[in-house]
Structure 1
Amino acid sequence: MTLTHHTSAGAASAAPAPARVDLARTWMLRSPLAGGLETAADVLVLDLEDGLPAGRKDEGRERVRRAAAEAPVWMRISAAGTRDGEADLALGRELDDRLAGVVLAMCAGPDDVAHIAASLPSGTSIVAMVESAAALLAAPAIAAHPATRRLAFGTGDFRRDTGMAADRIALSWPRAQLVVASAAAGIAGPIDGPCGPIEQAKDAAVHAVAMGFTGTLALRDAAVPGAHAGFTPAPADVDAARALLSTTPEGPVDGSYAPTLARARALIERAEALAAL
């Protein structure tokens, strides 16, 4: 799939799959029963967990099979060790190279990641969702597992588990833990929970970027333009970074100079990588 145009569940892209996983800003969760596979998001994830009522799981999996016949698909799968989770893994094995990757719901720890990795075709990309207090405490180990490509924050279930409000201050500490765990493990920045009201998509993305996140889950296509605007480096910021790197400081510099240059380089590299996809 491309990262800059309307995409389906797995349309061809000139960019290597690992780069798409690491750079993807928007991850659209959609029920397989919803029909269309087109989306403006960077990645379309067919949701076999919350996207399907209990009595229609098999029907949803059959829809995923049909979608995979057109292009490789991403799936959100149910928790490891559950009946639905094992059925989802069986489908993933059946799809083989038509499976682009999985988003693992309710990841409890690195053992869950290990189980998923061992149950799917070798090298399958895994995004692990942190959705409980216990999982947050295990986030460093989850992120450090070799099969984990990114972490994602399941804000709704996390709030239900902890009693926290849907408030930026309340959620700033758990968000920071996911960012630190990802950075320490050397993987791409985490994926935030859905933005909430569509009109707040850009503002939510800007806040997430400030926290160290590099993407977000999405539930509606209308939220994608705002999210992309927030997660994509602004041209003015890129220009300022280039100007900084092209300038030789006059006189001595303090200890903040080298980190400032590093941030400028990182911003330019991300902007160029997104533009190339």
Structure 2
Amino acid sequence: MSLTQHSAGAASAAPAPARVDLARTWLLRSPLASGGDSAADVLVLDLEDGLPAARKTEGRERARRAAETAPVWLRISAAGTPDGEADLELCRELDDRLAGIVLAMCAGPADVAHVAASRRVGVPIVAMIESAAALLAAPAIAAHPATRRLAFGTGDFRRDTGMADDRTALSWPRAQLVVASAAARIAGPIDGPCGSVEQARDAAEHAAAMGFTGTLALRDAAIPGAHAGFTPAPAEVSEARALLSAVPDGPVDGSYAPALARARALVARAEALARL
């Protein structure tokens, strides 16, 4: 079951705060699009790349109308830019109809602080890392109290760095985001768009193996594959439970501790996802 339920053309109630950490798929949809229900865990109305420059005002108005039906997630433009400030004004207007913010082109913790000052306390912020400078600032961005998760904007990051769309080339920046998130004790990061429908599951499995726990998506058809890639397989869960049941209660050899911790985390995630 999706973390959110969606009505035609709009996102509905956002996941409860704790569930934001579990969300596997984050579908970016233009407010101008006429999409209906989505199986994605979170539907995000994209005010940045989802709107051409000439239709920004129209797109914000459509997002405002969508919020009349149910609280919405908004992807907003870079902090401090004219479009970013106009998007933040909309966030202030929506108040309790704003479910969460995805901050595009986050450059550093000051951007998170700026956005946090414009939203209702408790509204989660997902900070997108989309440049070389932002990657170097990722630990500080992740550590900001208002940051709920990091997301990897692969397209703009590759444009900024010249890196190819290649798993080996992007393994280092991906690993940096995983480490930054773990050090800040926030949920694992959200990967860049999962690509074609045919590649969605494979891309999700690769990202999950690196420590990511979710992905952006651009098409509804990619959601089932991405969900499968980020959901522990039954065989993995059975193996983890077998390990936990085989180890006696009480102190054990310290060499078992990492394996046991991973097994507990996997089982806990599988059980939490099953309750959604």
TM-score (norm 2): 0.95
Which whole-Å CA distance do the structure 2 matches of 1:6 and 1:116 have between them? 26
- In structure 2, the residue corresponding to 1:151 is in which secondary structure? strand
User: Which residue of 1 is the match for residue 256 of structure 2?
Assistant: 257
Q: Which amino acid aligns with 1:17?
A: A
User: Which residue of 1 is the match for residue 21 of structure 2?
Assistant: 22
- In structure 2, the residue corresponding to 1:90 is in which secondary structure? helix
Q: CA deviation digits over 1:15-68, x for unaligned, max 9?
A: x62122100000000000002342110000000000000000010011101110
**Contact preservation (8 Å) 2:4, 2:13:** no
CA shift, 1:254, in A, is 5.6
What does residue range 122-133 of structure 1 map to in structure 2 within 5 Å?
122-133=121-132
Aligned residues: CA RMSD:
1.6
**Contact preservation (8 Å) 2:11, 2:71:** yes
- In structure 2, the residue corresponding to 1:273 is in which secondary structure? helix
- In structure 1, the residue corresponding to 2:93 is in which secondary structure? helix
What does residue range 183-262 of structure 1 map to in structure 2 within 5 Å?
183-248=182-247, 255-262=254-261
Counting matched residue pairs gives 272
Which whole-Å CA distance do the structure 1 matches of 2:35 and 2:159 have between them? 31
User: Which residue of 1 is the match for residue 156 of structure 2?
Assistant: 157
- In structure 1, the residue corresponding to 2:267 is in which secondary structure? helix
User: Which residue of 2 is the match for residue 58 of structure 1?
Assistant: 57
**Contact preservation (8 Å) 1:52, 1:60:** yes
Q: 1:4 to 1:105 in 2, by over 3 A?
A: closer
Which whole-Å CA distance do the structure 2 matches of 1:231 and 1:38 have between them? 21
More divergent stretch after superposition (2-11 vs 37-46): 2-11
What does residue range 139-150 of structure 1 map to in structure 2 within 5 Å?
139-150=138-149
**Contact preservation (8 Å) 2:27, 2:218:** yes
User: Which residue of 1 is the match for residue 45 of structure 2?
Assistant: 46
Q: 1:134 to 1:5 in 2, by over 3 A?
A: closer
What does residue range 63-74 of structure 1 map to in structure 2 within 5 Å?
63-74=62-73
- In structure 1, the residue corresponding to 2:48 is in which secondary structure? coil
User: Which residue of 2 is the match for residue 11 of structure 1?
Assistant: 12
**Contact preservation (8 Å) 1:3, 1:274:** no
TM-score (norm 1): 0.94
What does residue range 101-140 of structure 1 map to in structure 2 within 5 Å?
101-140=100-139
- In structure 1, list runs of 5 or more residues that go unmatched: none
Which whole-Å CA distance do the structure 1 matches of 2:18 and 2:2 have between them? 10
**Contact preservation (8 Å) 1:10, 1:100:** no
Which whole-Å CA distance do the structure 1 matches of 2:111 and 2:255 have between them? 40
Which whole-Å CA distance do the structure 2 matches of 1:7 and 1:265 have between them? 32
CA shift, 1:75, in A, is 0.4
- In structure 2, the residue corresponding to 1:44 is in which secondary structure? strand
Q: Which amino acid aligns with 1:181?
A: A
- In structure 2, list runs of 5 or more residues that go unmatched: none
- The percentage of aligned residue pairs carrying the same residue is 82
Q: CA deviation digits over 1:117-170, x for unaligned, max 9?
A: 001112221000000000000000000000000000000000000000000000
**Contact preservation (8 Å) 2:192, 2:216:** yes
Which whole-Å CA distance do the structure 2 matches of 1:55 and 1:87 have between them? 14
- In structure 1, the residue corresponding to 2:73 is in which secondary structure? strand
